[in-house]
Amino acid sequence: MVTAIKGEFGDIFTTESAVSFTPKTNVDGTSLADQKTLMDVYIRSLSMAVSNELNILDTKIAKGKDFNASRHNELSEAREALNATNPSTAKAVQAVGSSVAVEMMEMNTSYRDVAPYINQGLFFEKNEEGLDLLKRAVKSGLLDVGDLFGVPGEGMKEMTESLKDELMR
């Protein structure tokens, strides 16, 4: 914001003043439209993953089969958070994992510039599958040095240069 004020600070409300505003832009050069487009795609992708799992559980319910009620509740809460007026991806990422973000980055490498907008709250299981997904996240450009990611039971970790080098092999 650029402000030009005539008079002493205490007189700003009684004197003539001029204020001009400039649109907020990000330091990385990503436009607000690009951010919105990415978030819309990400939210739709997460919604599809959540809906697919809910449909499987709903089919089990309709057929009278056993189903995981807590998993159904977790997915339902994730769907509600994604469909809210101000959508939140946190519950969906917890419910369906980090694979959606990784797959988005692998399918469209132009998203690398805006990866920080979707790489928050990602976690990777401490097993072979989780390690493979973490490697894919690094290779796709989703995670880079300095980014944080979670490991269940171990909390948040920071991507270091040495860890990135090891994962890129």
- pTM of the complete model: 0.72
All structural domains of the chain with their residue ranges: 31-96, 97-169
Give the 3-state secondary structure of residue 151: strand
pLDDT along the chain (169 residues), means of 10: 50 51 51 82 94 95 94 96 93 92 89 84 93 96 94 94 94
Q: How far from 140 is each of 56, 89, 98, 168, CA to CA, in Å? A: 30, 20, 13, 10
SS3 content of the chain, % helix, strand, coil (to 5): 55, 10, 35
